[in-house]
Amino acid sequence: MSENINYYRDKDIHLYQVTDNYILVLQMYPDTFSYAIVHKNRLVAMAIDISLDTLHEPGHDHDLLNYNFRQIVTGLPSTGFTLVPTLLYSKDRVADIARFLNVQPNEKVLAQPLDNENHIIYKVDESLINRDEPHHLENPVFLAKGWITAIANHNPLPNNLYLNIDNLNLFEVLYCVDGKVRFFNRFNFFNPDELVYYVALAAKELDLQPQNLNLVLSGDIELDDPNATRLADFFKTVELNDLNLLDFPIEVKSHKILALIALSLCVSSEVF
């Protein structure tokens, strides 16, 4: 991640203070993970992009991971997904729909509600599910679900297009109307021009004019980096997402950790 605090621990918290009122959220990747510990409306601790070995041997810096939490949410990156209107969704149809995802032998299909009107059916690398790690796969969810839920619940404006930029050359695009998801997709990009192209493609599909469109950014981005400055050449405004879901110190940038801490809003997936 660029220019951001990657580790935080509330100086007033000690291991004995962690009770079953605390929530642990995890973002799992093949080689690394990130976590945040949440108590009510407060961020207690977090770490970004650390070794998976830490789950087995937390050490002093991450000793809070040793505790039994009230709830654990595990965000899993998908290798493909599709949205299905809730009115058309049933467990019995998941296998048929998943055929369009070209599921490979090393992949597993999961499904869950995305909002009140849509279910998401997605596939993940089976190694992410089968790993024998503490806390692993307790309450698995689609990785971007918390981010989507947080934005949809906070009155998104009709001229706003929301982007979350991953540090793996991936970004998600979200558009909501009246708090309902009307567009969600994910793209790979490898330079600022490709990022602009895919955002413009999403805008065209939504019949939104770039000159009237506000881009609200979160994730691995800053307003002065090449990706944001290139976006600013084509769209009306470009701004960082200032949505604060929790209390945390000013040195922790809210737009950087929004997708992580928003996982605390999630419920689990069904595994098929």
- The pLDDT tens digits for 225-264 are 999 999 999 999 999 999 989 888 888 899 999 999 999 9
Among 1.20.140.10, 3.30.420.40, 3.40.50.300, 3.30.70.3270, what is the CATH number of 155-242?
Answer: 3.30.420.40
Task: Report angle CA 120, 125, 126 to the nearest 5 degrees.
Answer: 105
- The pLDDT tens digits for 183-215 are 999 999 999 999 999 999 999 999 999 999 999
CATH 3.30.420.250: which residues of the chain? 1-154+244-272
Residue 244 vs residues 6, 126, 262: alpha-carbon distances, Å: 18, 33, 10
Q: Which helix (H) or strand (E) holds 238?
A: strand 237-240
- The pLDDT tens digits for 51-63 are 988 988 888 889 8
Eight-state DSSP code of residue 91:
G
Q: What is the pLDDT of residue 3?
A: 47
- The pLDDT tens digits for 25-55 are 999 988 899 999 998 888 999 999 999 889 8
Spatial separation of the C-alpha atoms in residues 240 and 48, rounded to whole Å: 19
The predicted model scores a pTM of 0.92
CATH 3.30.420.40: which residues of the chain? 155-242
Pair of tokens at residue 190:
């490898």
- The pLDDT tens digits for 144-154 are 999 999 999 99
Find, among 158, 258, 260, the residue nearest to 206 by Cα. Answer: 158
Spatial separation of the C-alpha atoms in residues 151 and 51, rounded to whole Å: 29
Q: What is the pLDDT of residue 141?
A: 94
CATH architecture of structural domain 1-154+244-272: 2-Layer Sandwich (3.30)
Spatial separation of the C-alpha atoms in residues 186 and 163, rounded to whole Å: 10
Q: What is the pLDDT of residue 12?
A: 77
